Structure 1
């Protein structure tokens, strides 16, 4: 539905303030597609370089998997889901039996006019410390990986009272990283605390008026409150803000936007339990422990006026650009976004951000920003590659830069991402790239090493390309590359890359077979590159 220029400006301004951009179920056609499946695979991993004398050259294991891909859309409910469980069974002692959960679920229920409930869930794997494999190569036995779970839910209100637009939202999120007994076991690396679990609350409210209703400019008053309580070192993040924004149309497609407000952010935690030499005393899972007798320590405390200004440009209903510069966190900040729907089947989204974040809040907000209609990126081995590619006017999002490090500390996060997804005829494609720079915020503790002001960087690239060859056969390819620089003295850069190709063919009434070949590389600076080749032969039955 095409809307007037002033209406477009107002809606974009509200989305920019509340950082909530979600597709509406009412705009989608009703449909239901639920596709469960079971699968048996035989996998062979080959050490292509022989650098590790403690591992066999060939590792063989079997996976038994069950999963479901589903899209349900009605007038009141919209659900998208892609979930997979697999049990890995080693043929000998070279690989341990293991359970792997991966997938994404996003749901929206329209309760009444203007009131909806949003919810989502995530299961994925990631590395716990430097030197591990990235999201794209978690085949075989990976001591340096662990399971991640995240869920969120809450109501969203969007309504009108006369000329006023009124909105409010609340969500609660919970993120958990499973234990990993290999964490912090390298005596040559400084121990770094990693995430256990955290609970996150976010509440926002706004009221505003579109340009041309009673005034030649639009305005919006908004406020928000955030709190995250993390189990590690009893960390607490608390923030609130209030601000006024205005939208001044210059032409029917261009507007000036700006705002001013006040915010207060405080991060605190307990001290680290250390031994006589100042080394952290780790628990059985490699995590830090709190000193029960310590007072709360302040990691970050800033309050004061915030302001920003920029442009909002929408030359047509398929293109929108917002760019702002301002003052926040006691420094100059830049941020913005771009959305472009090139066709009914091709969408490009990009954003630049600058914020105070943590692993738990970042994961929850990425999950909440996904559309309810998406395709989860998986390579030929069934592994979640960190991206969910959307449909229509939402290109989706990626988790992979956030998963590059599971450090428990809060951090100043600056970076950007771009997602491009689409298809034409028998072809389908998706590309996602992201960069993140994190400067950690921790107080002075009794430990002899602190992450405070340590900066790490992560870059990731994911790409997929598929083609339907016939009504019952297809070929798909996936590529990925990740680079991570921890910034911790003595630790090295890690570069991981790889790709896979899969051929699938239908056999008979829901029964299909596939063959996949992949090559992966993990390069730790100063060490020999580890090369891994993987072959898979599998059979799937879809119900």
Structure 2
């Protein structure tokens, strides 16, 4: 059987997520609940006209026991939220949002507010023109060297509240034998000031990220093999800009690229591409006192010197290239790999996908690109499915790790590569992400694994900046198992493990792991939840924490 080769060569040659420039345009394909045909195009599934909107209020009681020190604290939680979903011929989307007020029963358990939520929406204005968007509210680690309290209760040292959103149109049309594509994305990300904790004595603070606006525009023209030439042809161009508040950091990138694809058998094709890119990242210096020490504001962030010169943190300007192989033995399996030179060194990217059935989907990607925190989080958010698993587990890593699909052609995705820590500096991100989702009857299984490495860039000899040339690495894994005993009850189990390594002077390796289980039971509009969890993290020999959590909650759904 002859496999029809994909029309979008950019997606084949730059298919790794978060690779920057044209690759980012390729990765930001729609993650809607649509079927993929054998030739790589997308055909809408039969309309499933359904929509739901479920607002709720909830009250709960939480016990957190420090198994290392022997202390225990109690919280009362008051929460309000909404779960919504739409799946129609034109619209696919899901929203899950929760606001929680935490009230401590003692001085050791301070009050606090928590926002957690995810939204992914796609709407077809016409068959060719789509509007897409996404939003995220979660908590994550701020400093990769510090504490790693990965649950939403208990110690909040080194945790920052994150908000991120993006939106924009996507156009896919044809001009004779040529397929034309265009995209625009506007994104915004903001981080609250973290509490400090878990750092070795004498460790200087990092340049804490505040917020950023980013833009991306892409255009592509593609022709299949045999349409206008014996080989497939593709031309792509892209522009990206990211403006961050901390030290007035600015990232700007211009990209243009051409690709060819040559099938050599019914199942194998060779591909090669060459492009030109110009990337420049710059920032201003912080204000300093009479002793030359950087000044910080009330939130611990550097005060920017508005009169200071704009200094270059990273710059590349030149040609890059790669070549690769694509293997598609059947319509369910696709594997590709690309090797070339980019950013002055070897660059490897790849993408593998296997869909055994509508119930079992696996995907893995190798990526390499120059990134900023806001852009990488936007790209990760855009790759999440519009139909995802939502849980009531207040202890799990809700939306700050892996998000698994609740059905469709995508297994879901992980945000760990961006959320391993909140980083202002520009960096080169390289790594591997894998995700698997499986559904059978009333059971759902999700597995995510990955590794990411970041090399950080900043101007040399800037007061207070210690990240220039440094590198950090993260390894992560997450598993989710959900089983419904019936229409009104079920059990969810989560497990995660993270390992962080920073090459900054004096930094210690960080390990965090945990598991939680949650049972829910509904009685009409009234729902009840009981959860237990066990969590551990260590920062070298400095900090070692082991805690257990228990929760009972009642929810009323309107």
TM-score (structure 1 length as normaliser): 0.93
- Match in the other structure for 1:29: 47
1:386 aligns with 2:401: yes
Distance (Å, rounded) in 2 between the aligned partners of 1:312 and 1:68: 43
User: 1:79: how far off?
Assistant: 1.4
Q: Which 5+ residue runs of structure 2 have no aligned equivalent?
A: 16-22, 35-43
1:513 aligns with 2:532: no
| 1:38-437 map, 5 Å | 38-50=57-69, 57-130=71-144, 132-134=146-148, 136-180=150-194, 182=196, 188-376=202-390, 379-381=393-395, 384=398, 385-390=400-405, 391-437=407-453
Change (3 A) 1:502 1:23: closer
- Matched position secondary structure for 1:5: coil
User: 1:274: how far off?
Assistant: 2.8
Distance (Å, rounded) in 2 between the aligned partners of 1:299 and 1:184: 29
User: 1:278: how far off?
Assistant: 4.0
1:482 aligns with 2:498: yes
Distance (Å, rounded) in 1 between the aligned partners of 2:415 and 2:247: 25
Distance (Å, rounded) in 1 between the aligned partners of 2:528 and 2:393: 15
Deviations 1:364-401 (A, max 9, x none): 11011222122246645365152221232111211123
Distance (Å, rounded) in 2 between the aligned partners of 1:190 and 1:381: 31
User: 1:226: how far off?
Assistant: 0.7
Alpha carbons 1:389, 1:397 under 8 Å: kept: yes
Distance (Å, rounded) in 2 between the aligned partners of 1:527 and 1:521: 14
User: 1:337: how far off?
Assistant: 0.9
2:537 maps to which of 522, 530, 533: 522
Which has the higher relative contact order, 1 or 2, with Cα contacts under 8 A spaced 6 or more apart? 2
Change (3 A) 1:136 1:98: same
Q: How many residues align?
A: 536
User: 1:113: how far off?
Assistant: 2.7
User: 1:89: how far off?
Assistant: 1.1
Q: Which 5+ residue runs of structure 1 have no aligned equivalent?
A: 51-55
- Matched position secondary structure for 1:529: strand
User: 1:518: how far off?
Assistant: 0.8
Change (3 A) 1:312 1:377: farther
C-alpha RMSD over aligned residues: 2.3
- Matched position secondary structure for 2:307: coil
| 1:468-479 map, 5 Å | 468-479=484-495
Alpha carbons 2:231, 2:260 under 8 Å: kept: yes
- Matched position secondary structure for 2:247: helix
User: 1:445: how far off?
Assistant: 3.4
TM-score (structure 2 length as normaliser): 0.91
